[in-house]
Amino acid sequence: MNLTRITPLAILAALAACSNSEPPVVAAAPSASAESAIVVAVNSETRSAEDKARDRFRHPAESLEFWGLQPGMTILEVQPGSGWWTEILAPYAHATGGKYYATAADLGNPELPEGARKGRADFEARYAAKPDVYGTVTLVNFGPKSAALPADTFDFILTSRSVHGWMGGGLEAKYLTDLYGALKPGGILAVEQHRAKPGEQDPKAPSGYVTEEHVIKLAQNAGFELTEKSEINANPADTADHPFGVWTLPPVSRTRPYSEGPDAHDPNFDRTKYDAIGESDRMTLKFRKPN
């Protein structure tokens, strides 16, 4: 080994060797080694410059430390999308002796669109190409008609900016019930969600914003206990009342309604104040499944 060049992954591997093989499912506070491993994963050279540029809005290290991510945990990321969190969580799990899973389009659904099937295949191929970085990335079926997730399997489940989409399809109760069954007793459900101002909640959440009170109620209805709230991802400048919903703000930065097409653009739309706001005001919630 060349001692003059130690990569972030090598540091993570060294931390993994020092961690316990059977870490506690939930810790009151992250250990020093857990904090260091998270920071190394966030700062890894394997993450793109574009992803890292969003860290000032999304605070990944602080959020994961708040939620209580620990070495050796079995992690499930819900609807990983473009893989912004995956680029942190999969290498972290691989290097610290844990396991990483992600939900994906439900192959058991005979009505699954071909585009969704291709998206799953592309995601799987992307992470299978670098097993030395990401380890084994295991995908599990997740969708409106999917069967239950593996029961009592995960120590840590992260769902980021997903609840409004579930509400739009009337699937919030199903999905939260599925996640509850998949967590081990004592396991953590980490939630990040665009936050609406307090008040009456539109059940379909068309703006992408959901009140914190509503999200907590949904999770509690599924059986979860709220353990902590954090303002790590708060943005007081976000008024949550933009012409094209939360997607008016970066990084989507819409200038025309989505109904006109995903690439519709108005060159005369003045983005100045929306770009100045930055990314949305978000709640950061930590739930647990009772023992």
264 neighbors 90 (Cβ within 8 angstroms):
no
Q: Which amino acid is at 117?
A: R
Q: Which of 143, 146, 148 is nearest to 181 (CA)?
A: 148
Closest CA to 124 of 71, 159, 86, 67: 86
What does pTM read for this prediction?
A: 0.88
Which regions of the chain are under pLDDT 50?
A: 1-32
**DSSP H stretches of helix in 69-222:** 86-95, 114-128, 131-134, 163-168, 172-182, 212-221
Residue 267's pLDDT is what?
A: 96
Q: Which two tokens stand for residue 2?
A: 């060349």
Distance CA 132, CA 118 (A): 24
Question: Checking DSSP bridges between strand 225-230 and strand 282-288, what pairing results, if any?
Answer: antiparallel
Residue 194 CB partners (closer than 8 Å, separation 6+) = 161, 164, 208, 209, 210, 240, 246, 280, 281, 282
Specify the pLDDT at position 18. 41
Q: What pLDDT shows up at residue 33?
A: 57
Domains of the chain with CATH codes? 8-238+280-288 (3.40.50.150)
Structure tokens at 142: 């997740």
What pLDDT does residue 14 have? 44
